[in-house]
Structure 1
């Protein structure tokens, strides 16, 4: 039987879900670089041949740590689904002669390298400048058109994003972005391999996106993601996911699979995603590519990654299209034959629709809730807010326990201030969007008030 070393860090699909798919294809050993979620720890104990949580000093040379552990367990492949461990796992796999994302994986991680590569290829994207200090931020903003977006080169989940509208805002934006990256590192949401990555930033122009002219139904966000894989150097698109509008500045609220766009439109989007992924020269890995939609059919690549989409993107894809992407990637890395889709899958091949909603303490307009509330999933589940046939569940691994106060939304911290992650299954994408809109509207009214006697402690 083949053996896989699973390198776990925060981010990616729920650990319990991912482990079960890997364990179905091989013996699995877990190298835990982050503390295991309480709900996933029993699953790891049951499914893994070993679970190792290295001490802090052992992580100083992460690639060597992964290589040593892989050799010790006789790994035939190494996998990770965390943004923060992608580069280290790719380098370790290369050192051992194992299939992986390859030596160009940093291009899919460091947004400065990513954008520079795309610029050299003439790929449509926002104008940008790398910045290393406040003076470079000022120089970059002067060269671009305000407003601009300051973002970390190594972050995920829109963490540390700061919109700058005038020169007066630059000192505070620079200070806040750096502070948020330091806070994120304390929470475990930071690059694990590249020293000092939290201090790397870039600034980019904010392109004018719009969902008008793309979607028949109102309420969709102005960007989509192309879920796919690179198999032996060839990009293989799987499907597209749509979004609800982001919460300012650009925090994701919900992803929905599949996306209700005409097939010819999806082919245009996939062609741009293909150009973006091909330019990076990846070898064997999942991919998640975000495309901004504009007026008159314009599009821009926002970013891509050498891993599958996070949160519930992979489980949504499995539910809707019946594809176990994690298991298929494991087979790919182990050299087994894999029947990747011949072309991107659309609503015609879908079995209903699925979406994931991030619970944030803001309303549909992005305004803060008027009062503090406790998170309580049974209250939400029993409120009869959904369409007939829709099914709602909570992703415990990514959610606060019932009775915990919903955090105040922090625009700079982004998804770090989420209270919960919910998964919804419905007949079609339009129903998922409708039900999510109903939930966003109802949550600040139906959740227990903080301090109320009925709230759980």
Structure 2
């Protein structure tokens, strides 16, 4: 290997694995920073074989982690630092700044993690976003919907969190306390929580995300992704599809708002994932931004639908090299997530498709015997599969048909709250 080293902060998960493979294929030694030796033990054998070294640090103590990671990186000639972990994007910006390698603005990086800081940054940069207040006690919670800029329905969410954890749509006073409890229960990985909860005006419309890469302050939008989301108070994603072609004027307006959000969060070198709502009037509202590649196999969708090697593009961006972001294909891709019909013990999964032409990615996350949950956060997914093709309608129909074949068997857990018989349920799209 002849290239400079590449350091991944938390190398677990399929997205990190893809980055590691891309770096190794280009001749770069791959290193990982892990929270514990046990975290490293959970890496698969393929990833372990790729690693040239690792540093174990305490991500719950950012100052210590920064010093230890920077010392390690200097010792091993690290030329690029990346993460796809939501909770480590601020630390990544700080490490990059210390090393003098391409990264995001360390002074604004918290705005992509602390959602109260995000709301303030969006307001300062003129981003169209729902009115948001930080609530520290029950009195503030009761007062929030009396503000005409909020009213009912409204959204309660944790200041720190990811994957829709602790996010609730509140339609009346009776749901406020439960929603607040759910938000307060979210602590984040590595104890990286911020105090208080947020009450946010509800934005009605269709939910999308915009996947972008910024290089030296210049942003390229790779795709607009449509999201399938459950109804009810807990909105959980059940699928993603891309590329979505919005009307030109709507798309241009959405990109303007997203670029303002990218600037507000100090994203200068790397991926961003911006969640937006497009209303019936075509106006775009930015809900949140993350300074990372989207999870939920969106990188796989981009690769197969558009022919963009997003992993190599992110590597090049982190190394300060021009990234190739021009689509080489004009296809379509969608992902469906497997979820449990109830909380209990997983007893069976049948009908899951196998990888084949048009189904390039299939993943199981839960093992038989695991405790599974009726989904209230994206972390409750049992697995997923991706379907690709040239025609959007055909791809969506095939994905829905494959999903209907999947059956999930769940045995209730012992106790009076789980007295119903075991369920074997088809997963509705």
Report the TM-score range of the alignment, normalised by the length of the smaller protein. 0.7 to 0.9
Q: Which runs of 5+ in 2 are unaligned?
A: 413-421, 425-429
**Aligned match of 1:234:** 218
Asked if 1:400 is matched to 2:357, the reply is no
SS in 1 for 2:224: strand
Tell me, yes or no, if the aligned pair for 1:178 and 1:198 is still in contact at 8 Å: no
**Residues 165-314 of structure 1 correspond to what in structure 2 (within 5 A)?**
165-179=171-185, 181-182=186-187, 185=188, 190=189, 192=190, 197-209=193-205, 222-248=206-232, 249-314=234-299
Kindly tell me: are residues 447 and 165 of structure 1, through their superposed partners in 2, closer, same or farther at Cα, counting changes over 3 Å? closer
CA shift digits 1:329-357 (9 cap, x unpaired)? 2222222233444xxx6xxx644222222
**Residues 29-178 of structure 1 correspond to what in structure 2 (within 5 A)?**
29-33=31-35, 36=39, 40-54=43-57, 61-103=64-106, 104-143=108-147, 144-178=150-184
Tell me, yes or no, if the aligned pair for 1:409 and 1:418 is still in contact at 8 Å: no
**Aligned match of 1:380:** 352
Size of the aligned set, in residue pairs, is 406
SS in 1 for 2:372: coil
**Aligned match of 1:2:** 4
CA shift digits 1:406-454 (9 cap, x unpaired)? 723143xx112221122222333323322333345444xx3446499x9
Kindly tell me: are residues 60 and 102 of structure 1, through their superposed partners in 2, closer, same or farther at Cα, counting changes over 3 Å? closer
How far the C-alpha of 1:93 sits from its partner, in A, is 1.2
SS in 1 for 2:236: coil
How far the C-alpha of 1:7 sits from its partner, in A, is 1.0
CA shift digits 1:202-236 (9 cap, x unpaired)? 11011211xxxxxxxxxxxx211111111111222
- RMSD in angstroms over aligned alpha carbons? 3.1
**Aligned match of 2:415:** none
Kindly tell me: are residues 265 and 303 of structure 1, through their superposed partners in 2, closer, same or farther at Cα, counting changes over 3 Å? same
How far the C-alpha of 1:46 sits from its partner, in A, is 1.6
Tell me, yes or no, if the aligned pair for 1:258 and 1:350 is still in contact at 8 Å: no
Tell me, yes or no, if the aligned pair for 2:87 and 2:192 is still in contact at 8 Å: no
Higher strand share: 2
Kindly tell me: are residues 294 and 61 of structure 1, through their superposed partners in 2, closer, same or farther at Cα, counting changes over 3 Å? same
Kindly tell me: are residues 33 and 373 of structure 1, through their superposed partners in 2, closer, same or farther at Cα, counting changes over 3 Å? closer
**Residues 329-408 of structure 1 correspond to what in structure 2 (within 5 A)?**
329-341=314-326, 350-362=329-341, 374-376=347-349, 379-381=351-353, 390-391=358-359, 393-396=361-364, 399-401=365-367, 403-404=368-369, 407-408=372-373
2:399 to 423, 430, 436: 436
TM-score w.r.t. structure 1 length? Answer: 0.79
Q: Which runs of 5+ in 1 are unaligned?
A: 210-221, 363-367
TM-score w.r.t. structure 2 length? Answer: 0.84
With 318-327 and 26-35 compared, the bigger mean Cα shift is at 26-35
